[in-house]
Amino acid sequence: MTERRSTRSAPAWLLCLAMAWPGQTALAQDDATTGSEAQAEDADAPFGRHGPLTEREMEMARTAWSYFVERYQPETGLVNAVGAYPSTTLWDTASYISGLVAAYELGIIDKRTFDSRATQLIGTLRNLSLFNGEAPNKVYNTQTGEKVNYANQPGEVGYSVLDMGRMLVWLRILKERYPYLANGVDNVPLRWNFCNIVNEDGRLFGSLVRGDGSTRYVQEGRLGYEEYAAKGFALWGFDVWGALDPAPLEYTTIYDVEVPYDGRDPRVFHNQNYVLTESYLLDGLELGWDLPVDDPDGRGVASQGWRAEFAHRIFLVQQRRFESTGIITARSEHQVDGKPYFVYDSIFADGYAWNTLDPSDVYQPDRAAVASKAAIGMWALWDHPYTDLLFETVADLSEAEGGFFEGLYENGNGYIPLQTANNNGIILAALLYKEQGPILKFANDNTSFWDMAWDGTPIRTNKCLPEPMEVEVTCCACEDLPTVQPSVPWEEFTYCRPLQREAGIAATDCRPEAQEFEKPQPRVVLPRQCRPPQDWLP
């Protein structure tokens, strides 16, 4: 599709947050950009591989799509999350949308099939029975569309803001790429109530059901996933600055790579800080590691620079593990056959590198695997001999009528004989990325029903919806904000070249070896006055 440049700019809360950071002042033109930086900035080529798919890659795309043909439920338009089991989540349904968009854009299905599936799915999502009348339940039966518990029996278990955030990313992609679907898409989140979901600090809260049946609201998400989900909410206008901030941060050294992890202690907060590949892959494939606004610098610059820097470290440490041990490594959470059914196949967790844990935090080393989605995702985002090896490891790990298997066990026990919506959806997204670059393209400048619904009425307030029709006056006293350091300062960039931008530090020119970057020096400028608009003058 043809991409149009949007007029969307960073919201006031994002700009004022950036202005509070030291070093975010105007830079002298000669100091801000070297010749090599200018060349990198001008390049519109996306990170990693780009170009038409080969016939082999197209066959892989058709194979991945076959999962969504085999596991489709015609009564609801939903797709099973895992094989024949008729259950799904918002996360897995977003992965189905990922596969649907890719299949259409790559020419695997025609517009009639795409429209039929998309409109039926939107209708089902629009009419889901919500948990506590607030937001979609964590699990639904794909045959009936009814909310269920983890045993697929009628019931409620709460909602996940991480799942909701991923769904919001893909609903926005649908709305931007296909404006004729926008009206239906907008009606999906308009049914939700966000008052218990986004707090005043810009943090995201999910919910769960206690043993006595009462509801508990809990902060959800750790480094990687929290920021990815927050971008989904920000794309719809929510102020989620707290969830977008990577602090508190810690680092652990693995094969001489400073690997970032969430600094919140699992013993205190009762939430593991797994370091996994998937959230960084999704952010790169879908959003180009950009802030949740239009990127004026193009596809070769990540406007949320620390995301590109950290993603590169996640890739590099896995490459170095292979070089040091001979173990082909592409780590992500994934399904497994038999108990424990699911593992977090981490790069780092609970104080240990290469720690494979089940949901009960029991060590499961025999379940470590080369995850197919991680291998193909890294292949798309990093054009490197190691990702060529990853590609060959999983490229044929599939059935022609059923899709790709979850992965290949590291210990030689063969492949994981399970096929899932998430795995096949991400593989399709990676193949689409190679052909088109980041999948979100701001191309719909039409008036939005999401913006206008109930405008000026208490309904928007009662649902805690954003107020896009209220323009916030630019901060006139931002210089009075307390001085804070960015969570990932300029000096922390090792593998990606940092670039100073209005909304923070962007990044480009990522390489597999450490680089040295000279921080640009600010120039002194006269203080700015906050002049009233012309129509305010007598």
pLDDT digits (tens, 9 = 90+) for 246-262: 988 999 999 999 999 98
| DSSP code per residue over 248-294 | SEEEEEETTEEEEEE-S-HHHHS----B-SHHHHHHHHHHTT--SS-
Does pLDDT of 311 surpass 90?
yes
pLDDT at 473 (0 to 100): 65
Q: How confident is the model at residue 122 (pLDDT cuts 50, 70, 90)?
A: very high
pLDDT at 23 (0 to 100): 39
pLDDT at 512 (0 to 100): 80
Lowest mean pLDDT among 73-77, 220-224, 417-421: 220-224
pLDDT at 215 (0 to 100): 92
Domains identified in the chain and CATH numbers:
12-516+524-536 (1.50.10.140)
- Of 204, 196, 190, the closest CA to residue 242 belongs to 204
Tokens (6 digits) for 3 = 């991409």
Cα 69 to Cα 92: distance, rounded to the nearest angstrom: 15
Lowest mean pLDDT among 14-18, 191-195, 346-350: 14-18
Q: How confident is the model at residue 41 (pLDDT cuts 50, 70, 90)?
A: very low
Cα-based distances in Å from 198 to 230, 237, 500: 10, 12, 29
The torsion defined by the Cα of 178, 6, 294 and 428, in degrees rounded to 10, comes to 20
DSSP code of residue 360: T
Cα 519 to Cα 147: distance, rounded to the nearest angstrom: 53
Q: Over the stretch 490-514, which tens digit does the pLDDT of each residue have?
A: 888 999 988 888 778 998 888 888 8
pLDDT at 9 (0 to 100): 53
pLDDT at 40 (0 to 100): 44
- Considering the entire predicted model, what is its pTM? 0.88
pLDDT at 36 (0 to 100): 44
pLDDT at 293 (0 to 100): 85
Cα-based distances in Å from 500 to 124, 138, 505: 44, 40, 5
Instruction: Yes or no: say if 223 and 273 are a contact pair by the CB < 8 Å rule.
Output: yes
- Owner of token pair 């202005």: 19
Q: How confident is the model at residue 476 (pLDDT cuts 50, 70, 90)?
A: low
Average pLDDT, the chain: 88
Instruction: Yes or no: say if 443 and 1 are a contact pair by the CB < 8 Å rule.
Output: yes
Give the percent of the chain with pLDDT over 90: 71
Lowest mean pLDDT among 169-173, 188-192, 219-223, 534-538: 534-538
Q: Over the stretch 236-294, which tens digit does the pLDDT of each residue have?
A: 999 999 999 998 899 999 999 999 998 887 766 667 789 999 999 999 999 999 999 87
Lowest mean pLDDT among 308-312, 481-485, 503-507: 481-485
Does pLDDT of 12 surpass 80?
no
Residue with more model confidence, 122 or 517: 122
Query: Is the peptide bond between 260 and the residue preceding it cis, with omega within 30 degrees of 0?
Result: no
Instruction: Yes or no: say if 94 and 170 are a contact pair by the CB < 8 Å rule.
Output: yes
Q: How confident is the model at residue 13 (pLDDT cuts 50, 70, 90)?
A: low
Does pLDDT of 462 surpass 80?
yes
Q: How confident is the model at residue 420 (pLDDT cuts 50, 70, 90)?
A: very high
